[in-house]
């Protein structure tokens, strides 16, 4: 597989300190015969004046896609950036990866899929770094401040990824970075099977017909097939088996009433049970086009009602205990259908009036 290069955002490059990545230029002006050569090796120091001189001389500076993670980490470690700026950087990069998978006009060759997975992994590494000192409540606040609203599927994938990292850490406080990345990758890609579901159904506002709902319900299986194609490889260090389990089982319910296989309890991979909590929480607390968001206090109540049915009691207990150090559960009368599907953006939660 030939290396892929991208143009970095000048504002996100690191200046006046040793670079954690290499800089390249394209020495060929013929598009089909691009030839990248290294102009500044890792460890050297770049000044703003150097960068401007290089741009002037060579027009464009590039980074190798393989070093995108270092580039993102570097941008996030930059002390001059606010938390919101850091998340915005990571979110926009994450969206570009998801868009490249969801862009149906693009030929999704195995090379493209693998390259995108490498990019996703690096973005998720950035999430792991970003949230390492966060608690769930702080992460929820951050997500609330930054939601893009019109990018539901992408936003949701990013949010679920970050929640998965933190919920996994509640269970395994000493989790290694790569274990956190696996949890985050699974969360990030949990709805990837939707690339095989028609946009007409995905974007339909209002009630879905039985056939349409049956079609949507195929997304876990589609995702598993997509990630099982011959030649698709997990990026270095990550475990495709864990990611596939999350993708395939995130709609299984603890009591065995979910889909696709109606398995329950510990037959559902632990990471998929974590993803189910993250998925549910994000779906009901994020404002969507046709549905208002619940407060954390209300969400805790709604989620607790599904413990043992939908959600794993032990995982929820940890989540609940952690959340209630900051929030008090609030009883709310909410009409939530037994088949409520957190991955369906337009399903409306109906509030009932308190007596
Ligand atoms: Fe889903
Ligand atoms: Fe989802």
Centre of ligand 2 to C-alpha 185, Å, is 13
The pLDDT-based confidence of 351 (bands split at 50, 70, 90) is low
pTM: 0.83
The conformation of residue 185, written as its DSSP 8-state character, comes to H
Helix, strand, or coil (residue 18): strand
Q: What is the pLDDT of residues 209-247, one digit of tens each?
A: 889 989 999 999 999 999 999 999 888 889 999 999 999
The enclosing H or E element of 23 equals: strand 23-26
Cis bond upstream, residue 260 (ω within 30): yes
φ, ψ for residue 315, nearest 5 deg: -70, -40
Q: How far is the CA of 328 from the centre of ligand 1 (A)?
A: 28
- The answer to whether 204 and 212 are in contact (CB under 8 A) is yes
Q: Which residue has the tokens 């998978």?
A: 101
Domains of the chain: 1-67 (no CATH), 82-351 (1.10.3210.10)
Q: Read off the pLDDT of residues 68-92 as tens digits, 9 standing for 90 and up.
A: 778 877 887 776 778 777 887 888 8
Upper half-sphere CA count for residue 127 (Cβ side, 13 Å) = 34
- The residues, ordered by sequence, that sit 6+ positions from 241 with a Cβ below 8 Å of its Cβ are none
CA of residue 13 to ligand 2 center, whole Å: 33
Taking the centre of ligand 1 as the mean of its atom positions, its distance from the CA of residue 279, in whole angstroms, is 8
Give the pLDDT confidence of 123-132 residue by residue, as tens digits: 898 899 888 8
Between the CA atoms of 124, 126, 127 and 131, what dihedral angle is there, to the nearest 10 degrees? 150
pLDDT, residue 353, reads 47
How does pLDDT run across 129-188, given as a tens digit for each residue? 888 888 998 898 888 777 655 456 688 899 999 999 999 999 999 999 999 999 999 999
Distance of CA 295 to the CA centre of its chain: 22
Give the mean pLDDT of 58-76: 84
């Amino acid at each position: 597989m030939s290396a892929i290069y991208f143009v970095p955002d000048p504002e996100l490059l690191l200046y006046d300190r040793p670079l954690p990545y290499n800089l390249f230029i394209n020495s060929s002006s013929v598009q089909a015969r691009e030839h990248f050569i290294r102009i500044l090796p890792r460890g050297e120091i770049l000044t703003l004046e150097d960068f401007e001189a290089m741009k002037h001389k060579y027009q464009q500076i590039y980074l190798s896609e393989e070093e995108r993670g270092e580039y993102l980490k570097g941008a996030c470690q930059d002390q001059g950036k606010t938390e919101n700026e850091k998340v915005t950087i990571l979110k926009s990069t994450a969206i570009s990866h998801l868009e490249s998978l969801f862009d149906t006009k693009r030929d999704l060759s195995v090379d493209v899929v693998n390259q995108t997975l490498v990019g996703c992994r690096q973005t998720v590494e950035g999430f792991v770094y970003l949230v390492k000192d966060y608690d769930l409540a702080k992460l929820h606040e951050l997500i609330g401040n930054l939601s893009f609203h019109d990018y539901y599927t992408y936003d949701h994938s990013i949010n679920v990824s970050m929640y998965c990292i933190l919920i996994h850490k509640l269970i395994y406080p000493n989790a290694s970075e790569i274990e956190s990345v696996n949890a985050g990758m699974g969360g990030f890609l949990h709805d990837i099977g939707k690339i095989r579901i028609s946009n007409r159904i995905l974007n339909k506002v209002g009630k879905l017909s039985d056939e349409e709902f049956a079609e949507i319900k195929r997304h876990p299986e589609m995702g598993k097939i997509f990630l099982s194609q011959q030649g698709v490889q997990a990026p270095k260090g990550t475990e495709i088996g864990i990611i596939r389990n999350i993708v395939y089982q995130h709609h299984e319910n603890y009591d065995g009433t979910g889909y696709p296989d109606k398995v329950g309890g510990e037959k559902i991979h632990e990471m998929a049970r974590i993803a189910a909590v993250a998925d549910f929480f994000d779906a009901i607390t994020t404002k969507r086009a046709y549905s208002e968001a619940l407060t954390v206090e209300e969400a805790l109540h709604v989620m607790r009602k599904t413990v043992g049915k939908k959600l794993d009691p032990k995982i929820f207990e940890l989540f609940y205990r952690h959340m209630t150090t900051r929030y008090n559960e609030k009883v709310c009368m909410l009409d939530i259908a037994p088949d409520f599907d957190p991955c369906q953006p337009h399903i409306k939660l109906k509030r009932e009036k308190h007596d």
